Amino acid sequence: MYRNCYILLVVLMLFTLTSCSRDKEKNVFYETGKVDSPVKDVPKDILATQQAFVNLVKVVTPAVVNISTVSKKKVVPPLFEVHPFFGEFFEEAPSGPRYRKESSLGSGFIINRDGYIITNDHVVRDAESIQVKLSNEKIYDAKIVGGDPKSDIAVIRINAKDPLPVAVLGDSDKLQVGQWAVAIGNPFGLDRTVTVGVVSATGRSNMGIETYENFIQTDASINPGNSGGPLLNVNGEVIGINTAIVAAGQGIGFAIPVNMAKQVVEQLIRKGSVTRAWLGVAIQPVTEEIAASFGLEKAKGALISDVMAGSPAEKAGLRQGDILVTFDGKEVKDARQLQLAVGEAPVGKQVTAEIFRDGKLQKVTLLLASSDSVEARKPRPAKAAAGWLGLDVDELPRSKAQAGVAGVIVTAVEPDSAAAASGIQRGDIIVSVNQRKTGNLQEYAAAMKAAEKRGSVALLVRRGSASIYFALKLR
């Protein structure tokens, strides 16, 4: 009996000690929660920056929406059809084209209390149904107001009885590289994800993403599902529409400048489509060789290789060989920028341009027409490929000469020459050399001898209905 009491006493003592130890551990654990933060003096500017981002997100996020679409895609038929003999072993293929349903996600932002929402055209293009989810979790059916594939901008609309939060559009022309940039969207279906970075660059073009490109580059993370969402400055103003990423890199995303979107959105809401201005010229880049051949100090502007009949350019007196260096008061850095400037200009606007012709700068006045005009819709000549010298020429056949064509014809191209590698072909007609007409072999030879003194030459070549300049080195 005493032994049992002793054992019981020991067990009670051990239990008491264990409980005390646990209580002590608990007390120690809770006491550690009362100690001061490891960093006591956080700089005020850091705290202010952090709070600025918090405030921005609270105010702007309600205007950001998640967009889900369902579209019908045509199924590509199989390579081999099942022979009727084997029909009993295989399910019979349905007659006619087959389709499958596809779902996709994107983002957008509300721009007014009537329920208009800006997003990317590729987010809603070909959608059979569109649903928009707001920050309060309410879901609405949406309809497409209009879309513009060339700029990848679209407007959709929802009918909401309750007042809607609205995003404020900023001024993307005032952007500077290094400014803060905040992206809000729906990447991979993760609602209203916020990422922060900087404006890495502006005016990015030649990306091969859209017809009209003037992208803002940012390292604020943009992923699939972010498309159509806003890119914001620290004031909470929309400065861009998140559009694309570089799949092979990290921290490289692109957004459409909001100022470019404003003009497109206005037309989409008003008439459901976009009409752009039309100049009526075929243009090509000005390379260092072309600049040297034309006597231009540096490679800039856009070289006119052809002028359309009845176009604003023809009416203003523009000619083949003119180099447009300014348009509507702004410098033309390259051919892509000219295309963008004309596309953004209002139809019917009278603009002043500066051209480089015969070694001198001249001013011309252009009255921009609509790209929907009869002249603009006429088939345009296809562009030929640029190339280098390495060819033999001869007089034009009588049949071509009688058709009103003047020049010398390329009869052979050396197989290993730069001209062959770049695309100059047998049958091309050389119309001029350094803007000197070459109606026959004598004129061609004289022009080439004169060009030898400069070390470079610009040939105007006619191929079919297309005209293009070739910059060539002679030394």
Encode pLDDT of 49-71 as tens digits.
Answer: 899 899 999 999 999 999 999 98
User: How many Å is the Cα radius of gyration of the chain?
Assistant: 33
pTM above the 0.85 mark?
no
Q: What local confidence, expressed as pLDDT, does residue 292 receive?
A: 85
Mean pLDDT (the chain) is 80
Q: What local confidence, expressed as pLDDT, does residue 110 receive?
A: 96
Q: Taking a C-beta distance cutoff of 8 angstroms, is the pair 410, 393 a contact?
A: yes
Q: What local confidence, expressed as pLDDT, does residue 383 receive?
A: 35
The sign one gets for the Cα dihedral 9, 10, 14, 15 is: negative
What is the rounded distance in angstroms from the CA atom of residue 305 to the CA atom of residue 303? 6
What is the rounded distance in angstroms from the CA atom of residue 153 to the CA atom of residue 120? 5
The pLDDT-based confidence of 89 (bands split at 50, 70, 90) is: very low
Encode pLDDT of 374-433 as tens digits.
Answer: 556 565 443 332 333 667 777 776 656 556 678 888 877 776 665 666 667 778 888 888
- Intervals of CATH 2.30.42.10 along the chain: 277-371, 391-473
Written out in words, the top-level CATH class of the domain with range 277-371 is mainly beta
Q: Shortest CA distance to 130 belongs to which of 99, 97, 108, 98?
A: 108
Cβ burial, residue 24 (10 Å; 0-12/13-18/19+): exposed
Higher pLDDT pick, 470 / 279: 279
Encode pLDDT of 267-317 as tens digits.
Answer: 999 999 988 888 888 888 888 888 888 888 888 898 888 888 888 999 999
Of the residues 107, 151, 200, 227, which is catalytic? Answer: 227
What number of other Cβ atoms are within 10 A of residue 18's Cβ?
Answer: 10
Q: Is 227 part of the annotated catalytic residue set?
A: yes
Of the residues 122, 221, 306, 322, which is catalytic? Answer: 122
What is the rounded distance in angstroms from the CA atom of residue 108 to the CA atom of residue 63? 9
DSSP letter assigned to residue 189: G
Q: Is 83 part of the annotated catalytic residue set?
A: no
What is the rounded distance in angstroms from the CA atom of residue 131 to the CA atom of residue 65? 10
Q: Taking a C-beta distance cutoff of 8 angstroms, is the pair 144, 130 a contact?
A: yes
Q: What local confidence, expressed as pLDDT, does residue 80 receive?
A: 44
DSSP letter assigned to residue 188: G
Phi-psi category of residue 335: left, alpha or beta, with phi > 0 → left and psi -120 to 50 → alpha: alpha
**What is the CATH T-level fold of the domain 391-473, as seen in this structure?**
Pdz3 Domain (2.30.42)
**Tokens of residue 419, six digits:** 């001209």
Encode pLDDT of 435-465 as tens digits.
Answer: 888 888 878 877 877 777 777 778 788 887 7
Q: Shortest CA distance to 283 belongs to which of 154, 71, 467?
A: 467
- Intervals of CATH 2.40.10.10 along the chain: 168-271
Of the residues 68, 148, 151, 152, which is catalytic? Answer: 152
Give the range with max mean pLDDT: 154-168, 180-194, 215-229, 386-400. Answer: 154-168
Written out in words, the top-level CATH class of the domain with range 168-271 is mainly beta
Q: Is 95 part of the annotated catalytic residue set?
A: no
Cβ burial, residue 100 (10 Å; 0-12/13-18/19+): exposed
What is the rounded distance in angstroms from the CA atom of residue 475 to the CA atom of residue 128? 61
